[in-house]
Amino acid sequence: MHNSTFPPNPPKNHNDVTQASPFASDLISFTESWQALVGARYIHFKNTLTIPNTAPSLYIRDKWVPNFGLIYKPAHDIMTYFDYTRGLEQSGVAPPFATNAGITLAPLVSTQYEVGAKAVISNSFNIGFAAFQINKTEEFVNSALLFEQNGRQRHRGIELTANGQLISNLTFIAGLSRLFTTQIDTNDVTVNGRRTPNAPNWQADLSLDYQMPSIRGLFLSTALSYVGARAVDSANTVIAPSFTTLDLGVRYVCELFKQSMIFRVNAKNVTDKRYWGSAESVGVFPGAPRTVYVSAQIEF
């Protein structure tokens, strides 16, 4: 008998990332109608990149990022707000087809502005509206196949939310968002002005929860989720199609041995929809197939 032998896997780059981030914030009330949220976060970012047969390279960055919010309540059941936040997050890793494959770049700096309003329509119905803009350092594989940081991503969007009770024993949570993304200020004409990869133009969610009146403690739930079309690459030459998934669930709340128990059966993607869960230049990854979860929870 002949035993086959396979060559060992080639060594890979290794990234060791640590991030310490203490923060402090305070909510200041000026009047019954006006409040301000003031905060700051200190980020210590450290990334050690080890490339096989090469001495490790160390990248360290320390940064203060502020957070400021202003809240105005024109009425007891209405709240409007403005929020400004800055952030720092780990960059992506250059994909295998890039000339600098496996390299991790500097952390990404982001800035977010948001304005919105929330209102209580009744004791069982709430609505919300928000408009936002996020600017973040852009990173992409350019036409020379180099993974680089150049220019900015600009995300602008609006979001509508609602939750409450529709009829007796039936509650809901719903959301709808429209997103406009653009890659700007880059030096690559194939990327500048194109949509940001893996960002859907539309997204919607609806969840319903129904308590069975005839069986105490029995609840039925369903969740419908829609994700719009997304660009796969920075040049938008490939578009991942939109998809809709349906989840169903049953839970039973009871008392067993004098302890509160919750039994759950949840089915995700019950129609077994084939879709791309993630779609970006490093690759596309299929979404989860039909999956059933069974669990039991005890509360002491």
Q: Are 224 and 246 in contact (CB under 8 A)?
A: yes
* Residues 248-291 pLDDT 10s: 999 999 887 778 899 999 999 999 999 998 887 767 889 999 99
The structure's pTM equals 0.83
Domain ranges of the chain: 15-196
Report the pLDDT value the prediction gives residue 45, as an integer from 0 to 100. Answer: 80
Q: Are 29 and 35 in contact (CB under 8 A)?
A: yes
Report the pLDDT value the prediction gives residue 78, as an integer from 0 to 100. Answer: 95
Number of residues assigned to the chain: 300
Q: Which residues of the chain have pLDDT under 70?
A: 1-11, 13, 282
By three-state DSSP, how is residue 276 classified? strand
Q: ∠ CA(181), CA(280), CA(269), 5° rounding?
A: 95
| Cβ neighbours for 2, distance < 8 A, ≥ 6 positions apart | none
φ/ψ of 113, rounded to 5, equals -120, 140
Q: Where are the strands (E) in 90-240, listed by range?
A: 108-122, 125-141, 147-167, 170-184, 202-211, 218-227, 230-231, 239-240
Report the pLDDT value the prediction gives residue 1, as an integer from 0 to 100. Answer: 52
CA distance 102 to 14: 8
Read off the tokens for 177.
Answer: 């968002």
Class of the 15-196 domain? Answer: mainly beta
